[in-house]
Structure 1
Amino acid sequence: MERIDTIRKISEELTNELVVCNIGFPSRELHHLKDSSTHFYMLGSMGLASSIGLGIAMSTSRKVVIFDGDGSILMNLGSLVTIFNQNPDNLILIVLDNECYGSTGSQCSYASTVNLGNVAKAVGFKNNFFFDGYEKELKFKEVLNTCGPVFVHIKVKPGNANVPVIPLEALDIRDRFMDEIKK
């Protein structure tokens, strides 16, 4: 399954959750599919979606869903240890694993030789889900109903959807998201 199809299936099941989306094409794809003030589209800071999402989860009781990539999570493996130790019950970390750095030219990542789900389990995550990306039905309701922190590893095909750039300035994305958090 292509990343945009996976994002589509998951976003169809999201209601009022706060969403932090990894830089580049994943953010563009989510914005194209389902723009919302509950979405924080990262325009920079590769590797920090998990850290930003953790900070948000620790400051609110609302469910926080993080769309991250394999390359980004590999850049900041320490965030897995921090998430595990902070133990937020409202956090879901989704790693969309295409085994490459899709937003920077599709260079291969080490996700082809490292099982990120096993890394999360080794860190101590007790609530883990794996989807091979070829499943027609991505049953995400079970994930949403699981007490966090939750690690979701989804294999997707390499490639980026042909979607436009997000037509919002970084400050506008930040401000509307902050307004959403304050509700």
Structure 2
Amino acid sequence: LGTLPTIGNNVADNYILLIIDNGSYGSTGDQPTYAGKKTSLTKVAEACGCDNVIECKAEDTAQVMKDAIASKKMTVIVCKCESGNIPVPNITMDQVVIRDRFMKALEAANA
């Protein structure tokens, strides 16, 4: 949310922000977010000075994104989608190992 005033006040015509809003904190048990209750991220973006804000359903996102790219206007897209997680196993790898593996991958990508 802290970036919305920055985006609204420093418009770049080729900038697109895609917010995927499932209305919940999936990693901690699908508790509802404020956006899943009464707070409208679309209205928040508009209040922050973002002039071209589009709210869409998940299934319409691809077309909305294509239209935003073609418009060449700064666009904020709020994609409303279903909450929920697919069952996945817990990560058993140590956090330090994950960090080191990630850093090595970044170094290799920049080599």
TM-score (ref. length: structure 1): 0.46
Count how many residue pairs are aligned between Structure 1 and Structure 2.
Answer: 101
Relative to structure 1, the CA distance from residue 136 to residue 106 in structure 2 (aligned partners, 3 Å threshold; closer, same or farther) is same
Q: Which has the higher contact order (CA 8 A, sep 6+)?
A: 2
Q: Output the amino acid matched with 2:103.
A: L
Match of 2:20 in 1: 96
Give yes or no for the alignment of 1:121 onto 2:53.
no
Relative to structure 1, the CA distance from residue 171 to residue 97 in structure 2 (aligned partners, 3 Å threshold; closer, same or farther) is same
SS in 2 for 1:171: helix
Give 2:102's match in structure 1, choosing from 170, 175, 183.
170
For structure 1, the 5+ residue unaligned runs are: 1-76
CA contact (8 A) 1:89 1:149 kept: yes
Match of 1:151 in 2: 76
Alpha-carbon displacement from aligned partner over 1:125-155 (angstroms, at most 9, x marks no partner)? 112221123x467412112223343100111
Stretches of 4+ aligned residues off by more than 4 angstroms: 162-165
CA contact (8 A) 2:61 2:79 kept: no
For structure 2, the 5+ residue unaligned runs are: 92-97
- Percent identity over the alignment? 33
TM-score (ref. length: structure 2): 0.70
Q: Which has the larger radius of gyration?
A: 2
- Whole-Å Cα distance in 2 between the matches of residues 171 and 127 of structure 1? 36
